[in-house]
Structure 1
Amino acid sequence: MKIGVLALQGAVAEHIRSIELAGAEGVAVKKVEQLDDMDGLIIPGGESTTIGKLMRKYGFIEAIRQFSEAGKPIFGTCAGLIVLAKNISGQDDAHLSLMNMSVSRNAFGRQRESFETDLDVVGIDEPVRAVFIRAPLIESVGEGVEVLSTYQDEIVTAREGHLLASSFHPELTDDYRLHKYFADMVESSLKSLR
């Protein structure tokens, strides 16, 4: 089972480490052609506007939409969550426009307002350690989207079918259970696509 990490910006090596702890093979994806060999894809954090520009420049927007249409799971963390969303507050255009949710960039403030906390996540037994850095927020979700966790009554993790999104950085801790949750989604999709 191969899970790619879009390697345009962000904590690529950390995601690959977490994927491998979760029992899958992690691959840095730098070229569109690599997507054909991937069973799942993580879009990491960074700066969503920059990631969006780089995705357009290197042809990833249409390629990742096709990847999603094929039913292959995608997990967006922090800026990756923004890239997945259908609506971004204060912006006319979304990037991939795949996940039925509205998001707000930097909702938790600037870098100095970064923090760590433990979150209850639906489908994971014990609380997950979450690192919030200039984190976005899921303002609202549409039909078909399940809220998996909240922080102070705000949505920070959600799932829509084969799409998963978190406001925080699960790769910056030793807790790889959210990556394991995603790897299980990938494994299920492989069984259903066979």
Structure 2
Amino acid sequence: MKIGVLALQGAVAEHIRMLGLAGAEGVVIKRTEQLEELDGLIIPGGESTTIGKLMRTYGFIEAIREFSARRKPVFGTCAGMILVAKELSGQEEAHLGLMDIRVARNAFGRQRESFETDLAVKGMENTVRAVFIRAPLIESVGGNVDVLSVYQDQIVAARQEHLLAASFHPELTDDYGFHSYFLDMVRQYR
């Protein structure tokens, strides 16, 4: 399996490492034509406004929408979750508008309020170690979105068919459980 990691900004190398541990080939994606060779795509954390601008500059908005329209799995982590959301609190326009979720940016506070915790995730036997850094949260979900995990009654992970989103950074730990979950999704949609 070839899984791309969008390499415009963010924790690209860390996702590539975790994909390797989970048993897939991670590919650094810098050009839209590279999407053709992929089974799935991860949009990493970073700064969502910056990544969104770079996606527009390099033609990734339409290319990723087409990728998703072909039912190829997309996984957004932290800023990546903001980028895949259909609606952003306090903002007029979403970026990709793929997943039927409304997201609030920096909902868990500033950099100094960053933290780690273990989360129970629906469909996973073991808890997942999660790193929250200026993390967004999912304020609401559409009817066909499955809530996978909550932290203090706030939605922090969800799935809608071939789309996966997490508020946290699963790539910044040694726990590749969430990446394995995504690879299972990719197998399901292959």
Q: Provide TM-score, normalisation by structure 2.
A: 0.99
- The equivalent of 2:111 in structure 1 is 111
Query: Does 2:23 align with 1:23?
Result: yes
What CA RMSD, in Å, does the superposition of the two structures yield over aligned residues? 0.4
- Per-residue CA deviations over 1:113-154 (Å, capped at 9, x if unaligned) read 000000000111011000000000000001100000000000
Query: d(CA) in 1 for partners of 2:184 and 2:103?
Result: 26
The answer for the alignment partner of 1:101 in structure 2 is: 101
Point out 4+ residue stretches in structure 1 off by more than 2 angstroms: none
Matches within 5 A, 1:1-194: 1-190=1-190
> How many residues matched?
190
Shift of 1:188: 1.2
Match of 1:99, as an amino acid?
M
Looking at structure 2, the residues matched to 101 and 188 of structure 1 have their Cα atoms a distance apart, in angstroms, of: 22
CA distance in 2, matches of 1:6, 1:124: 26
Q: Secondary structure of 2:138's partner? A: strand
Within 2, Cα distance between the matches of 1:143 and 1:53? 30
* CA shift for structure 1 position 187: 1.1
Letter aligned with residue 143 of structure 2: E
Equivalents in 2 of 1:126, 1:35: separation in Å?
Answer: 32
- CA deviation after TM superposition for structure 1 residue 10, in Å: 0.4
Letter in 2 for 1:160: Q
Structure 2 stretches of 5 or more lacking a match?
none
**1:36-80 deviations in whole A, cap 9, x for unaligned?**
001100000000010100000000000000000000000000000
Query: Tell me, what secondary structure is at the counterpart of 2:122?
Result: coil
Shift of residue 104, structure 1, vs aligned partner: 0.2
1:65 and 1:101 map into 2 onto residues whose CA distance is: 16
Name the aligned partner's letter for residue 49 of structure 2: T
The 2-side partners of 1:163 and 1:172 are apart by 21
